[in-house]
């Protein structure tokens, strides 16, 4: 397979690039490095074709999609808080950028586009677990942008017979995730704070819960979706377990052998209180099996950040 990974220098993208290379595939990466890091590609820089550019440019997207079979469209501006602060830029990347990728894929004769969507689409819908046939009720501009991009994928499948698969990620975490960004996700923020002896901040009372999904599970779903049925499908990608933030900190404390005491702050606008996925559709349609539990994934992530932080600290002392 000849694969393009947009946003391949990002957290999920770089993990996906590594897996594609391990399976012997040709990999091209398109990234503008606005949120991704060149360091994420260092270990296999000589094994990939790297194009620097923005998916908001049709010309750059068209260059990237030439002579590839599958596009893994990971490029996006993530984060609900970011989208509330700057909805216009988020929309430009997540909606216009996806349209450019789909257009260029159509024009280049790409077989399939696997799109990285988000569980935030379910939004204010209180029903649990979340199923793909539920009514979307987005409550943030980020969620709206992902829903619009999904609809573009479905329209291109119908109008142009471009195969698409949309994967609704549920709180993916793991190695390479940036813990220092203002918009960083909760697990890397918590782990870094604990390693530095700081109290992590929980927005709300800590009873809010998430279906935390280790990145290897999300990567596996992408690889399977690339060859799964051609039905313009939309699939939840998660572990299928619901963990509260308080429970998450308790597990961290137990594994790290330190008391990680949080500071509580008011809940943020756009955050949903609970999230839990029904993953039976992805299991039945293309054999997705989340083999790594949230707890094992958390332990692997803590170990990775512990090594990474130690290396960074050592480099700063030389």
Which residue has tokens 């990234």?
A: 31
Model confidence over 282-304: pLDDT tens digits? 999 999 999 999 999 999 999 99
Across the chain, which has 318 residues, the per-10-residue mean pLDDT values are 97 97 98 95 96 97 98 94 94 98 98 97 94 96 97 97 96 92 80 91 93 97 91 92 95 92 89 92 95 96 86 36
Residues 6+ apart with CB under 8 A from 60: 30, 51, 53, 54
Catalytic site residue from 58, 122, 142, 182: 142
Pairwise CA distance, residues 116 & 104, whole Å: 17
Q: State residue 79's pLDDT score.
A: 87
* Nearest alpha-carbon partner for 304 in 71, 24, 15: 15
Is residue 57 within 8 Å of 26, Cβ to Cβ?
A: no
Pairwise CA distance, residues 311 & 306, whole Å: 9
Domains along the chain with CATH numbers: 2-174+213-241+271-292 (3.40.50.720)
pTM metric for this prediction: 0.93
Is residue 217 within 8 Å of 292, Cβ to Cβ?
A: yes
For this structure, is 152 an active site residue? no
Is residue 192 within 8 Å of 142, Cβ to Cβ?
A: no
Model confidence over 168-215: pLDDT tens digits? 999 999 999 988 776 668 899 999 999 999 999 999 999 999 999 999
Sequence-ordered alpha helix ranges (H) in the chain: 11-22, 58-65, 80-85, 87-91, 97-108, 141-160, 186-195, 215-225, 245-256, 280-286, 294-317
């Amino acid at each position: 397979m000849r694969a393009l990974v947009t946003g391949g220098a990002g957290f999920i993208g770089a993990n996906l690039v590594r897996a594609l290379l391990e399976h012997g595939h040709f990999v091209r990466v398109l990234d503008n490095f606005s949120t991704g890091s060149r360091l994420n590609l260092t270990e296999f820089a000589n094994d990939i074709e790297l194009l620097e550019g923005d998916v908001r440019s049709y010309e750059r997207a068209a260059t990237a999609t030439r002579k590839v079979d599958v596009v893994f469209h990971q490029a996006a501006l993530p984060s609900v808080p970011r989208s509330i602060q700057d909805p216009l830029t988020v929309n430009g990347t997540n909606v216009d950028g996806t349209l450019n990728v789909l257009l260029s894929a159509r024009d280049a004769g790409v077989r399939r586009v696997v799109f990285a969507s988000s569980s935030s689409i379910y939004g204010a819908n209180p029903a649990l677990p979340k199923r793909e046939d539920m009514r979307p009720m987005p409550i943030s501009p980020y969620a709206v942008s992902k829903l619009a991009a999904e609809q573009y994928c479905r329209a291109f499948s119908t109008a142009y017979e471009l195969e698409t698969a949309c994967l609704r990620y549920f709180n993916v975490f793991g190695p390479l995730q940036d813990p220092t960004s203002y918009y960083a996700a909760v697990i890397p923020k918590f782990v870094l704070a604990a390693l530095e002896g700081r109290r992590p901040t929980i927005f709300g009372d800590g009873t809010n819960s998430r279906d935390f999904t280790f990145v290897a599970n999300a990567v596996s779903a992408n690889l399977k979706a690339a060859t799964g049925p051609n039905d313009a499908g939309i699939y939840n990608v998660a572990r299928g377990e619901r963990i509260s933030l308080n429970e998450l900190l308790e597990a961290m404390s137990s594994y790290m052998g330190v008391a990680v005491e949080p500071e509580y702050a008011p809940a943020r606008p756009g955050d949903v209180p609970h999230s839990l996925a029904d993953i039976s559709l992805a299991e039945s349609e293309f054999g997705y099996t989340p083999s790594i539990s949230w707890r094992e994934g958390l332990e692997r992530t803590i170990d990775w950040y512990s090594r990474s932080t130690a290396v960074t600290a050592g480099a700063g002392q030389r």
